[in-house]
Amino acid sequence: MKGFWRYMGRFGRKVIPVFALLIGTVAFGQVVNDPCYTAPKTFVSVSQAATGPLTIIAGKTSKQVHICSIFLLSATTQNINLIESANANCGTPTAGLLGGTTANTGPNLTGGQWFNFGDGSATVARSTTSGDNVCLISSSTGQISGTIGYVIK
């Protein structure tokens, strides 16, 4: 290893931090198949003040929705959840992405609290069934605002 560092020293001090950065992120020769890491993301704005499900991401045939990042802010105390459904209005949820298939089985937020999950570099939730829509559901009528980054693949 001494010979390697001696060789790298010929290029000045700028090479070493770049080399260290590369080692810290992805190992050399490693293949990363996570769509959130490899594909461009789409972001959807969220604004909901009703308890019923709101379709926020329309599914595509034979493809799954990969959630890369979630930032949601609730104005009131309530539970929120992301569910998936084959129905356009998410009336019959088939699975929950952050818990069960109801709002009460998802994260609980107090008034003015936010839910932040994922930085966009990896999948944090994924639809179970290809082609399903992803919907936001809440337990009360308080305003929910935020953004969700996702990839459909």
Query: What's the rounded mean pLDDT across residues 61-79?
Result: 96
Please count the CA atoms within 13 angstroms of the CA of 153 that sit on its side-chain side: 17
pLDDT at 62: 96
In the DSSP assignment, the letter for residue 113 is -
pLDDT at 16: 46
Query: What's the rounded mean pLDDT across residues 115-143?
Result: 94
Q: Which residues contact 65 (CB under 8 A, 6 or more apart)?
A: 57, 59, 84, 126, 127, 132, 134, 150, 151, 152
Whether the predicted pLDDT of 91 surpasses 70: yes
pLDDT at 18: 44
* Average pLDDT of the residues of the chain: 85
Provide the pLDDT confidence category of residue 12 given band limits of 50, 70 and 90. low
Whether the predicted pLDDT of 4 surpasses 60: no
Q: What is the pLDDT of residues 119-132, one digit of tens each?
A: 999 999 999 999 99
Picking from 4, 150, 152, 153, the residue whose alpha carbon sits closest to that of residue 67 is: 150
- How far, CA to CA in Å, does 33 sit from each of 30, 38, 91, 106, 153? 10, 7, 32, 28, 11
pLDDT at 52: 82
Beta bridge partners of 145: 47, 73
Task: Map out the domains of the chain with their CATH numbers.
Answer: 1-30 (no CATH), 33-152 (2.60.120)
Q: What is the pLDDT of residues 18-67, one digit of tens each?
A: 444 444 455 566 667 899 999 999 999 999 998 889 999 999 999 999 99
pLDDT at 32: 79
Whether the predicted pLDDT of 104 surpasses 70: yes
Q: Hey, CA dihedral for 140, 144, 149, 153, is it positive or negative?
A: positive
